[in-house]
Chain A
Amino acid sequence: MTATEETAAESAPEKPLDWLGQSIKRKEDDRFLAGRGNYIEDIDLPNMLHMAILRSPYAHATINSIDTTEAAALPGVVAVVTGELLAQHNLAWMPTLSGDTQAVLATDKVRMQGQEVACVIAEDRYVAHDALELIDVDYEPLPAVVNPFAALEEGAPLIRDDKEGQTDNRVYHWEAGDAAATEEAFLEAHKIVAVDTHYPRSHPSPLECCGCVADLNPASHRATIYMTSQAPHAIRTVFALVTGLPEQNIQIISPDIGGGFGNKVPVYPGYVVATAASLLLGRPVKWIEDRTGNLISTGFARDFHMKGELAVARDGTMLGVRVKMLSDQGYAYADAQPSKLKAGLFHIVTGSYDLPAAHVVCDGAYTNKAPGGVAYRCSFRVTEASFLIERLVQSAAVELGMDPAELRRRNFIQPEQFPYTSATGFVYDSGDYETAMDMALDKAGYGELRAEQERRRAEGGKLLGIGIATMTEALGAGPSRDYDILGIKMFDSAELRVHPTGKAILKLGVRHQGQGHETTFAQIVAHELGIPPEDILVHEGDTDNTPYGLGTYASRSTPVAGAAAAMVSRTLREKAKKIAAHLLEVSEDDLEWEHDHFSVKGAPSQTKTIQEIAFAAYTNHPMGMEAGLEGVHYYDPPNLTFPFATYVVVVEVDPETGEWKPIHVVAIDDCGVRINPMIVEGQIMGGLTEGFAMAAMQEISFDDDGNCIGSNFMDYLIPTAWETPHYDLGETVTPSPHHPLGCKGVGESATVGSPAAFVNAVVDAVSHLGVTDIDMPVTSAKVWEAIQGAGAHA
């Protein structure tokens, strides 16, 4: 080596000592950007058949008969599967994640438009689709139940007449909080403000729809099922229980997934029929869902009708909140959420406020719509709760004539109150809400904005509106004592193996769909063991080759699996210490750990790096110690984590046409310690965009006959780059006291919290005209109607 080269080497940028908090580029992006991802559609097996699904055009109808003769006779068609055939194998119905039942293929009746009625299995997908047109189904239409309130009225047509003992359309009744204490608090109120609103049915609509390739090998009796699943391990267990196949013979592989947002948590009929067909035919069967199938039949989100009331004292002190909520469940109760909590975490409706009393009454109703209620980029119904309380606070500010920021400030849970037990029983781990809000208001230039708003109101033209939402989320399910899905506890796991050359593979029970796990979790191990992230392969999504876990949704991966990755790394570090002591011929007590090596106290030149130790673990380990450097950790979190944020949205509203657009969006998020800030910011921007989408345009609605309006992207609107606002981000850091790294979840915060900020902003812009509420999605037409209506009553 020449002198010049030495200098160059010395001045080269040093690798960071600690990988925590580094915005390194995403390891997984190389293959995605190069078009080398491996999605379900990319999987082609020899001798593979293709499946297409015939769906019901009616929302509610009796099936008199299904004639498949002509379809079965079409050249290239191998089989036509109906509910009758599945019933012979006891597979016509399947359990949902909420313990209800859902039809795989309809037998007696169809109960939603788009319900799966029959499947064609053919040599190619064109033939399969041609054959669908040849199936003759004789339907007898029944009255469709579209409105959940009407569904619960006496005399409403009974939707689930297949269920023994089900005499009406009620799914559940569930309460949280203290009714008596809340009544008392309301008696003390100076004012009671009310918000009656519908959080519209929306759909996660990931870029990739659902699909699977089921391959049941008739010789080995192994079922290898490639599918778009956010929770492959749970799916394996459900499949074992439903089909009776021995669990060791089921391998679920979730290859690269093109977005999930909760939509890919449940089991859908397509998966089951393809698997059954492969079993019956002895050939692999591929099913790729189309966009309409995805939008009309798979897990929707939200659809809560909420009546909230907030009791406030004369000085603005919040005294209590009470809520009546009716959930429109569709024809099956299929929420993907902890089984004990009928309405998920909706009872976190006290938000960021020190609310001494709360009472939440929840009912669920069957309707002739698709089942679901998945956690669409949210932690089990936190989104609906956050929206309601923030709309209530906005209304209270108007009623009291107080500034909405000041009203919030007066009622925040204070930093010294943590851990804080809420009126509905959550134990908030940590928070500092006022600091985050002040930072957001400052960034938005709040004081000047109010002056500008007044000036514009006086001068005419476009109006200015300022919307604030402060958000506290509860995520990272769960402590297993409280959270399970169908009895399976919501822990998660990590298995770490360090190879002789000091490179490692980390296997996890979760399954990412774009969240950046391959980078973030490598950074966690890098932080704990000093192995650079590029030397760590993160492996997920294959049940044969990863430890058990409940999957990736509800912002639980970093709080649970991330903690498991840290803990297993620490276990390995303990073993590494023993090996280092052996190699350096000192006692363990004489060693200290620094970033990536052990050194002897007082003799810092005597060191062993993690790579040297890993090599020794296979070549020179102490007598009596097991060889190797690997371990597995199942992490059961002691509590949820409670990230928080303040969102401030500034909008311009055209009072003549109702058109509005955000001109400044500020987001101050606190998710505790950030592992990869770039990935966190990406999550927040994505979350804000989906929050904006829900506030502005996204809705799956139905006409009176139960026809789905929103079955394609012409009717179900997703914002483009053109509509999407620019985002102004900031952060505060309040570590979680119980997570090994101080992290909280973040993937969903902005989706949960920001819709209220957008709606509050539009309502604020036109509040001087007498407008107090506009339901989502806030379309220009609704703004115009609200202004007209307010004018008429003024």
Chain B
Amino acid sequence: MPTIARSVPQRWEAYVFPSNFEYFAPTTIDEALGLLAEHGDEAKILAGGQSLIPLMKLRFAAPAVVIDINRVAGLDHLEESKRGRGFLRVGALVRNATLERSELLSSRYPTMAAAAPLISDPIVRNQGTLVGSLCHADPQGDFGSVMLALDGEIVVRSTAGERRIPVKRFLDGPFTSTIRPDELAVEARVPSPEGRFSGTYLKLERKVGDFATVGVAVFVATERGKVMRAGIGLTGVGATNIKATEAEAALVGHRLSDTAIDEASRLAAAAADPRTDVRGSADYKRDVVRVYVARGLQQLTGAKAA
């Protein structure tokens, strides 16, 4: 028998026209931070706008203030720093299309290079940014898993100073991160790989432009044939992107053998916490995690030198 309607979304109606908002276009980071200090909770940062604008268009988001950072100088860097053990710096305005075409990524950060062309569609990639995607904290976002696999971090800044937050602690829940209302995410960082390394990203999507039904980021660094560092991140199978730590641990210290791969993919599937929805049942998604982690790791058996 039919039941009384209970699960009606609060405001699902279709609006093509956003609510009123005040718009600022600062040109320096300090100016942007000043605006954030002033408007805080009421403000939203506009970078690529590939999530924010659709949400505003539908009035799911109605920020009173939009701070457009696209004119801010010094946020479009994509480079490797040699400081410490070295790390990759991805500025807040680096577009996904730039990542997709980057030789630095394809030679040194293969997991990112594999993920970049799988982000939505070319139109979205031309505008969308990695840092913006992380701040949006969509559990179906691809870069969250990549950054978890690679142990990346986010650099945030406010008028009070700078913080570096590991992505594992940055992603706090569906569409929530630990950034504070007065902070601006200025950069994502990824530790430079050492030894022989390899990585990839596999994504099952219903069509190009759809969110991942399941996405899997894998990364391994080996020395003398044994895994020294392993990273496995899962997309679309939990309230946030998931770092499959037990699966990672199961690989470290072992050769990338069929047995090790089977065990890691089994543990990764166990780490997944998917929900049944239009993209498939929870059982299905969990099994795709298993298959994809195994396939991803199989692809890495020919790891190359740093």
Interface residues of A (CB under 8 A from B): 54-55, 57-61, 125-126, 129-130, 132-133, 141-147, 150, 155-157, 290-293, 296, 656-659, 697, 701, 703-707, 709, 711-712, 714-715, 717-720, 722-723, 779-781, 784-785, 788
Contact = CB atoms under 8 A, between A and B. Distances in A.
Given A157-B2, A290-B16, A707 B284 contact: no
B3 interface: yes
B15 A129 contact: yes
B19 A130 contact: yes
Nearest to A721: B208
Contacts of A781: 213, 279-281, 284
B5 A60 contact: yes
A719 B205 CA distance: 12
Among B6, B12, B13, B291, max chain A CB count under 10 A is at B13
A143 B4 contact: yes
A58 B8 contact: yes
A723 B9 CA distance: 32
Among A291, A704, A780, max chain B CB count under 10 A is at A780
Contacts of B210: 714, 717
B146 interface: no
B14 A717 contact: no
Contact of B207 (A125, A150, A720): A720
Given A659-B204, A781-B280, A784-B280, A144 B5 contact: yes
Given A705-B6, A705-B7, A781-B213, A656 B208 contact: no
B288 interface: yes
Counting chain B residues whose Cβ lies within 8 A of the other chain, the interface size class is 35 or more
Given A657-B287, A705-B6, 20 more contacts: A54-B13, A57-B8, A58-B5, A133-B59, A141-B8, A143-B1, A143-B3, A146-B2, A156-B2, A290-B14, A291-B16, A656-B291, A714-B210, A720-B121, A780-B206, A780-B280, A781-B280, A781-B281, A784-B287, A788-B283
Contacts of B5: 58-61, 141-144, 705-707
Q: Is the interface of A mostly helix, strand, loop or mixed?
A: loop
Contact of B14 (A141, A293, A718): A293
A657 B204 contact: yes
B125 to A, nearest CB: 13
B245 to A, nearest CB: 24
Nearest to A147: B2
A60 B5 CA distance: 8
B206 A291 contact: no
B278 interface: yes
Contact of A707 (B3, B9, B208, B281): B9
B209 interface: yes
13 contacts: A54-B13, A57-B11, A129-B16, A141-B4, A141-B8, A144-B4, A157-B2, A293-B14, A705-B7, A717-B210, A723-B208, A780-B280, A784-B287
Contacts of A292: 13-14
Contact of A57 (B3, B12, B19): B12
Contact of A720 (B9, B16, B208, B281): B208
A659 B11 CA distance: 35
A707 B7 contact: yes
A709 B207 CA distance: 17
Nearest to B280: A781
A786 B257 CA distance: 31
A291 B2 contact: no
A54 to B, nearest CB: 7
Contacts of A656: 291
A88 B205 CA distance: 51
A155 B209 CA distance: 44
B15 A145 contact: no
Nearest to A127: B17
B8 A705 contact: yes
A715 B1 CA distance: 26
Contacts of A130: 17, 19-20
B135 to A, nearest CB: 20
A156 B11 CA distance: 28
A785 B19 contact: no
A523 B63 CA distance: 56
Nearest to A126: B17
A615 to B, nearest CB: 54
Nearest to A709: B278
Contacts of A150: 1-2
A70 to B, nearest CB: 16
Given A657-B291, A720-B207, A723-B208, A715 B278 contact: yes
Contacts of A156: 1-2
Contacts of A129: 15-17
